[in-house]
Amino acid sequence: MTDANGAPATPVLELHGVSKTYADVHALAGADLTVRRGELLAVVGPSGSGKSTLLNIMGTLARPTTGAVRVDGHDIDELTDRELSALRATAIGFVFQQFHLAPGVRALDAVADGLLYSGRPLRRRRRLAEQTLRRVGLGHRLGHEPHQLSGGEKQRVAIARAVAGAPALLLADEPTGALDSRSGAAVMELLHGLHRAGTTVVVITHDREIAAALPREVRLRDGRIETDTADGGGRTGPTRADRPGARDRRALREARP
């Protein structure tokens, strides 16, 4: 973890000694984790291992009981709730297991709504949404509502919503959990494509097979980080590329099936 000589990229996410306690349950205990720009990693563990807690803390949806969290250069301990919201609006994209697509809302509007709190005007949100949907291979589904889409397509809409604003960090919580294996594989291929072009992706999963297929694997058990393949100095992400936004767009193009 030396950062002086030849570290590949600046950290997007840093956790130092992060613990989270609910009542007297230690959901997370002393977690250290650094995610660098452009990485693709899996946080894997059985249910109850603290995955969700870790995700919430990484996504700034919850604050740790103790420890320090830095996201995209911001120490979240120093941010107010409003500032955290602004950070989520610009720097973090979320993908959920159950998609969270509102019924009756067209794919285009769902993705455009993902940019609502980023301050872009409506017309730009729509244009960006359309571009992003085309790049995840849903150009022919712009006007479709969730009930007209397959599970895999829904998750691709949700991914498009998460990455349309080119966030520094994409957090995917069990992205294949509600999908059959074929759709799941397609979704994972999409995430790989995003990563190949430089998007930083953290996949939270209980599926060891999926985790093993990713360049880096962080295993959680009972609220502790058991192993982190990055410590072995093995797999790392791509080198620093050009601007994050440009990389993300290229990633989306490549990810297109």
Partner 1 sequence: MTATAPPAAPARRLRPARLSPLDVLRTGGSGLRSRPARVFLSALGIAIGIAAMIGVVGISTSSTEELDRKLDALGTNLLTVAPGETVGGGEAHLPAEATEMIGDIAPVQSVSAVGLTEARVYRNDRIPAEETGGIGVYAARTDLPATVGARVTGGRWLNTADTAYPAVVLGPDAAAQLGVHAAGPGVQVWLGGRWFTVVGLLAPTELAPELDAAALIGWPAAEQEVGFNGYATTIYTRTEETAVEDVQAVLGATANPQEPTSVEVSRPSDALAAKEATDDALNGLLLGLGAVALLVGGVGVANTMVISVLERRAEIGLRRSLGATRGQIRTQFLCESLLLSALGGIGGVLLGIGVTAGYASYQGWPAVVPLWAMAGGVGATLAIGALAGFYPAVRAARLPPTEALAAR
Interface residues with partner 1 (CB under 8 A) are 1-3, 10-11, 14, 16, 32, 34, 56, 59, 61-62, 70, 73-75, 79, 81-90, 92, 94, 96, 98, 100, 102-105, 113-114, 116-122, 161
Task: Find the shortest distance in angstroms from Cβ 34 to partner 1.
Answer: 6
Nearer to partner 1, 191 or 250 (CB): 191
37 contacts: CB under 8 Å, gap ≥ 6? 9, 10, 11, 12, 168, 198, 200, 237, 240, 244
Nearer to partner 1, 57 or 255 (CB): 57
Question: How do beta strands 11-22 and 66-71 pair?
Answer: antiparallel
How does DSSP assign 155-174, residue by residue?
A: HHHHHHHHHTT--SEEEEES
- What backbone phi and psi angles, to 5 degrees, belong to 18? -85, 125
Task: Find the shortest distance in angstroms from Cβ 199 to partner 1.
Answer: 17
* Short-list 206, 226, 200, CA closest to 41: 200
Task: Find the shortest distance in angstroms from Cβ 79 to partner 1.
Answer: 7
Q: Give ∠ CA 201-54-95 in degrees, rounded to 5.
A: 40
21 contacts: CB under 8 Å, gap ≥ 6? 27, 65
The CA-atom distances, in angstroms, between 132 and each of 86, 127, 135, 145, 241 are 22, 9, 5, 17, 20
Task: Find the shortest distance in angstroms from Cβ 82 to partner 1.
Answer: 5
How does DSSP assign 146-214, residue by residue?
A: GGGS-HHHHHHHHHHHHHTT--SEEEEESTTTTS-HHHHHHHHHHHHHHHHTT--EEEEES-HHHHHTS
Nearer to partner 1, 82 or 182 (CB): 82
Task: Find the shortest distance in angstroms from Cβ 196 to partner 1.
Answer: 25
As a whole number of angstroms, the distance between CA 108 and CA 12 comes to 29
Task: Find the shortest distance in angstroms from Cβ 240 to partner 1.
Answer: 14
Nearer to partner 1, 66 or 98 (CB): 98
Task: Find the shortest distance in angstroms from Cβ 136 to partner 1.
Answer: 18
